[in-house]
Structure 1
Amino acid sequence: MKKIAIILSGCGVFDGAEIHETVLTMLHIEQLGAQYECFAPNLNQHHVINHLNGETQQDSRNILIEAARIARGNIHDLATLNTSHFDALVVPGGFGVAKNLSDFAFSGANSTILDIFKAACQEFSQQNKPIAYLCIAPALIGHIHPQGTLTTIGNDPDTALAAEQLGAKHVDCAANDIVIDLQQKVICTPAYMLANSISEASEGIVKAITQLIDMA
């Protein structure tokens, strides 16, 4: 049975991992006959957002502890991820990708990326194992993969430009579709960058996970 690693960036669309995208990823992996295991960095997140009113809260939360909420406690420190134990990787979206795994939300084309996250993704790539990036996560492909690797964040021109300035090649894509770079074994779908419902997000995610497992 194929085993898929999932890297999470917290819990909640505005300051962590997008919960719908993460749960859909888990569901589709299981329904397609594979297993998954979750990881997150054991670091404090950039900030905490009140998801009811959108305001920044004056407290601190740990990315791993927050991500454990989605994983029902079955999650590990990203520092312990051994890529040789897995066949593929998925990075769900949510602003945590652009705030905790990187500072893309604030710096765009001048952003930096968390070293431990970059190293994990590059290890999968070096082992010729496929990676699926969802939602905003594909914006970081230029930080991780060779110049010209295909990416998509849907069709937002400013975000697409920043992704291209980091070195990726952007392809417009509908929420229910995927973009595949066969050479690099990279799969992307816009998910909630464009999706107007959980059903629409699911259409693209199931295609991405199907392709990921087929490539693994």
Structure 2
Amino acid sequence: MLSAVNALRILTSPLNNYISKNMLHSSGAAQAKVAVVLAGCGVYDGSEVHEASACLVHLSRAKAEVGMFAPDINQMHVVDHIAGAPDEKDTRNVLKESARIARGKISALSNLKATDYDAIIFPGGFGAAKNLCTFGVDGSKCSVNNEAKRVIEEFHANKKPIGCCCIAPALVARVLPGVEVTMGSDKEEDGRFPYAGTVQGLLELGAKHVNKGPTECHVDEKNKIVSAPAYMCETGLHEIFDGIGQMVNGTLKLVKS
């Protein structure tokens, strides 16, 4: 039996690291190659961890080959997730933080090419609206990270589907005006959709918003955009998980169309 020390050496050896970074993320023959773009690690300043994990679980179940990417830039800021306030003394790199979710199997977003993948997915979390674009600060006047803009335009130009959830549809809407997306409901519904006011920003970007429940997704077949509310809705994690599953499956379905 391996000792704890020897097991740790194997896990951290350069050879194991190389193999790990080049393994498929699902067992068996891959049904599709999907790029997942992360924006850090943590709901308030990066990718929402449960949403990112749900995307990966549903992709694994569908036997997709997954490649994960994130921009190699500093975060807009770092948020203390206990205090719920920015930590002015801390700075973090989006790629390095995203690697925590990806278990190290990640590459800089600058390396992503639409020709290498069948689809792309953007989990939510405020990082999508702070690090991939500035929608969380500037609303409809937001700017978009150059590499995020490039890959969205490339996948769209190649007629390859784009999946997104939570606040990430705002990123897609900024790059591709006129798309149809959902971020849940445009009404708060007694606190069920606390971020309903965000829909106005989408409309100002020229997007069409379609109200959907937490276990649903919306498919813009013309533009091959699939979106789901996720944590834009105050509901149980199992419903968030199921709704993201609808988004992932809808995105993969468009790969075959």
Q: TM-score, normalised by structure 2?
A: 0.82
**Counterparts of residues 163-182 of structure 1 (less than 5 Å):** 163-182=202-221
Instruction: Kindly provide the CA deviation profile for residues 147-183 of structure 1, in whole angstroms up to 9, marking residues without a partner as x.
Output: 3210111124421111111111111111110011001
One-letter amino acid matched to 1:123: E
**Secondary structure of the corresponding residue to residue 201 of structure 1:** helix
Quote the residue 2:93 is aligned against: 62
1:4 to 10, 18, 34: 34
Is the CA contact (8 Å cut-off) linking 2:216 and 2:228 kept in structure 1?
yes
The residue type equivalent to 2:42 in the other structure is G
Tell me the CA shift for residue 9 of structure 1.
0.3
CA distance, structure 1, for counterparts of residue 226 and residue 132 of structure 2 = 19
Alpha-carbon shift at residue 195 of structure 1 (Å): 4.3
Aligned to 1:46: 76
User: Residues 132 and 171 of structure 2 are in contact (CA less than 8 Å); yes or no, is this contact kept in structure 1?
Assistant: no
CA distance in 2: counterparts of 1:106 and 1:139, whole angstroms: 12
Question: Contact 1:140–1:163 (CA<8 Å) still a contact in 2?
Answer: no
Counterpart of 2:114 in structure 1: which amino acid?
T
Q: Is the 8 A contact 1:195 1:201 kept in 2?
A: no
- Kindly provide the CA deviation profile for residues 86-108 of structure 1, in whole angstroms up to 9, marking residues without a partner as x: 00000000000111111111111
Q: CA deviation at 1:140?
A: 2.2
| Paired AA for residue 236 in structure 2 | S
Among 202, 207, 225, the alignment partner of 1:186 is 225
State the structure with more CA Rg: 2
Equivalent residue of 1:3, what SS?
strand
Give aligned-pair identity as a percent.
Answer: 38
Q: CA RMSD in A?
A: 1.0
Alignment correspondent of 1:150: 180
CA–CA distance in structure 1, aligned partners of residues 44 and 123 of structure 2: 13
Return the match for 2:237 from 175, 182, 198. Answer: 198
**Range with greater deviation from structure 2 (27-36 or 67-76):** 27-36
Match of 2:49 in 1: 19
Q: Does 1:74 align with 2:105?
A: yes
Structure 1 stretches of 4+ moved >4 Å: none
2:137 matched residue in structure 1? 106
Match of 2:8 in 1: none
User: Contact 1:90–1:133 at 8 Å: present in 2 too?
Assistant: yes
Q: Does structure 2 retain, via aligned residues, the 8 Å contact 1:141–1:163?
A: no
Aligned length: 215
How does the TM-score come out when normalised to structure 1?
A: 0.97
Please list the CA deviations of residues 24-52 of structure 1 after superposition, one character each: whole Å capped at 9, or x if unmatched. Answer: 10010010121111000000000001111
After TM superposition, give the deviation of residue 14 of structure 1 in Å.
0.4
Task: Give how far 1:141 is off.
Answer: 2.6
C-alpha separation in 1, matches of 2:156 and 2:70: 19
SS state of the match for residue 30, structure 1? helix
Give yes or no for contact 1:142–1:164 (8 Å, CA) kept in 2.
no
Gaps of 5+ in 1: none
Deviation at 1:197, TM superposition (A): 2.1
SS at match of 2:197: helix
Q: Residues of 1 paired with 2:127 and 2:42: CA distance?
A: 8
Structure 1 window deviating more from structure 2 (20-29 vs 134-143): it is: 134-143
